[in-house]
A = this chain, B = another copy of it.
Amino acid sequence: MPTYTAPVRDTRFVLENVIDLPAMAGKPGFEDFDADMIAPILEEAGRFFAEVVAPTNLPADRQGCVRNDDGSVTTPDGFKTLYAKVRETGWTTLSMPAEYGGQGLPGVLGFAAEEFFTSANMAFAMYFGLTSGAVEAIELRGSEEQRALYIPKMVSGEWTGTMNLTEPHCGTDLGLLRTRAEPNGDGSYSVTGTKIFISSGEHDLTDNIVHLVLARTPDAPKGTKGISMFIVPKFIPDADGNPGERNSLSCGSIEEKMGIHANSTCVMNYDGATGWLIGEENKGLAAMFIMMNAARLWVGLQGFSQAENAYQNGAAYALDRRQGRALTGPKEPDENADMLVVHPDVRRLLMDARARTEGMRALGLWVALQGDIAKRAADESERQAADDMVQLLTPVVKAIGTDIGMRVAQDMQQVWGGHGYIAENGMEQFVRDARITQIYEGANGVQAMDLVGRKLPMHGGRAVQSFFAMVDKDVAKAAGNEKVAALATALEKAAGDLKAASMWLMQNAPADPNNAGSAAYHYMEILGLVSMGWMWLRSAVAAASALDDGEDEAGFMEAKILTARHFAESHLPEAGALRRKLQAGAKTIMAMPAEAFARTG
């Protein structure tokens, strides 16, 4: 069975040395935060998730969830107790609003703890994670009464929440959705329709489940402009706010899926269920999109959280399994074989995994901090600049973070050889679980279109211009620093490819929008390389400075610099190839007649 240790040292390094969270203490919006909190919070959270939650990951996946004949759902053994324990610790409310019972700390700290939780058991963490999204929707768009009625119970974990968007015939294109909501005349609505792929849709962990459901009112305009959001509780709260009458909704079945077996992914049937409008009629999709950035960052985190756990177990195997001899001669002649870690090709996979996982962690935490600044800073221009970065880089964290999750999980399974294919060793679970993160919350191709179609042109390209300015500044600063100069040069080259790609888009997308479509994924991948490369440059500079100050512990800083160098040597060169692919344009792929794609024999 795999083992997991929370990467507290690395997360602290990012927060303290790379993105300088301590400097935020006392600033507007960070009044309750103190730099001394970082270490104990991370250490305690890390210990809890590693010791209490992580051991449940494999057995819960093997057992899965069961829908009983009466429509109830039984979660894996031990989940009820575990759920109660997580609630007690409060680790999931770190960044929840204080007025609703949360701890009101910066979102970046909650994000850091959430990684440990998600590495430990992603399918289980989703019961809480979806609730956070629903809380945010009610907080942003709900009435005062709705906020008072639902949020405290959801923050405390007494109730969970879900998001009901997808229907059998529509996922990405929500304009097609058909679920109806007819006014009952008393302010409530009668909601009828079928929703699919509803994570945590039904379970036995709490007394109530709060479903947020997208539906159409009777005279709603067609398409996305006629979608409203409703709150549809499993049990309708009574006058005291306790679960009362059972609502007319049920889990029709649990999807049998590739992974995250311990999360109940339900088909939900709403059969005239009583619901209440959240926010304005026909503005449901806009409300949903407000939450989208947070949800997408969270899915990106799911990606690299699986990469981290897979990496740890890949590395552990490489340091334990003996097979073959070092190419330069036996490293341990007294043993019958050397450890896998002597083989350069195994090291290549391990270094790739570190470069990707640590780079994406740094990027994710930096973007999470920008989210805090965007919400909390006193200065409007500071808030705006931070929000620009959140907008621009959220698709990158979501899509590249999850591509990385899948890639690292596969590479680490590969280190295990045949044993990686066997279920009881747990390496194949990381692959199956990571796979969904590339698909849900906007498939990665949709993220690329969001980036190129919406985020890039936003405010005349303001966000990407600011991004270039920050990268260029750090590259220029690093020029004289011997330990990082090669990385700075490689980053400068990759940033040049990104600028050329941006220019190409400006020149070629207006004439043929398909050029934006064919370029989108390549563009997002280059931005992923450059933004991670930038974080690696900042990490290497911070590590070099710590070394100069004599602060090295157990080679941590040396390993950082080596991994940064590996990113420069083995990852950044891809930017040039991606730029060339992008510049080929849409002509060839659009020239193919649609019917020519079908194999007819």
- Report the Cα distance A200→B599, complex, angstroms: 32
Q: Say whether A258 contacts B431, CB under 8 Å.
A: yes
Stretch at the interface among A104-112, A473-481, A514-522: A514-522
User: Is the C-beta of A337 less than 8 angstroms from some C-beta in chain B?
Assistant: yes
Q: Which residues of B contact A101 (CB under 8 A)?
A: none
Q: Is the CB of A348 within 8 A of B599?
A: no
Secondary structure of the A contact surface, majority rule: helix
Q: A590 an interface residue at 8 Å Cβ cutoff? A: yes
Q: Is A173 an interface residue (CB 8 A)?
A: yes
Q: Does chain B have a CB within 8 A of A257?
A: yes
Stretch touching chain B among A127-135, A277-285, A569-577:
A569-577
Could you tell me the distance between the alpha carbons of A570 and B586 in the complex, rounded to whole angstroms? Answer: 11
- Establish whether residues B566 and A257, one from each chain, have CB atoms under 8 Å apart when the complex forms: no
Minimum C-beta distance from A6 to chain B (A)? 7
Residues of B within 8 A of A262 (CB): none
Q: Is the CB of A351 within 8 A of B592?
A: yes
Q: A584 at interface (Cβ–Cβ under 8 A)?
A: yes
Contact of A422 among B257, B422, B573, B577 (CB under 8 A): B257
The answer to whether B173 touches A428, judged by C-beta atoms less than 8 angstroms apart, is: no
Chain A 151-193 per-residue mask, 1 if CB under 8 angstroms from chain B, else 0: 0000000000000001000111101100000000000000000
Contact B439 A418 (CB under 8 A): yes
Asked whether A330 is an interface residue with its Cβ less than 8 Å from the other chain, the reply is no
Interface string of A394-428 (1 = CB under 8 A from B): 00000000000010001001100110111110001
A348 to chain B, nearest CB (A): 6
Binds B, one of A139-147, A294-302, A444-452: A444-452
Contact for A597 among B8, B350, B516, CB less than 8 A: B350
The interface stretch among A70-78, A237-245, A309-317 is A309-317
- Let me know if A37 is at the binding interface, CB within 8 A: no
Closest to A514 in B: B344
| Given A315-B597, A345-B517, A601-B5, A588-B559 contact (CB < 8 Å) | no
Cα separation A513 to B255 with both chains bound (whole Å): 51
Asked if A7 is at the interface (CB within 8 A of a chain B CB), the reply is yes
A420: min CB distance to chain B, Å:
7
B439 touches A589 (CB 8 A): no
Interface residues of A in 315-369 (CB under 8 A from B): 315-316, 318-319, 322-324, 327-328, 336-337, 339, 341-351, 354
Interface centre among A318, A323, A414, A444 (most CB of B within 10 A): A323
A197 CB-CB contact with B under 8 Å: yes
Alpha-carbon gap, A444 to B312, bound state (A) = 21
Task: Among B438, B520, B599, point to the contact of A315 (Cβ < 8 A).
Answer: B599
7 smallest CB-CB distances across A and B, nearest first, come from: A344-B517, A569-B584, A327-B513, A258-B428, A577-B577, A573-B580, A344-B518
Given contacts A341-B594, A347-B518, A351-B592, 18 further A-B contacts (CB under 8 A): A171-B323, A172-B417, A173-B322, A176-B336, A257-B421, A257-B423, A258-B421, A319-B595, A342-B594, A344-B516, A344-B590, A345-B521, A346-B445, A347-B589, A413-B439, A414-B445, A417-B443, A432-B432
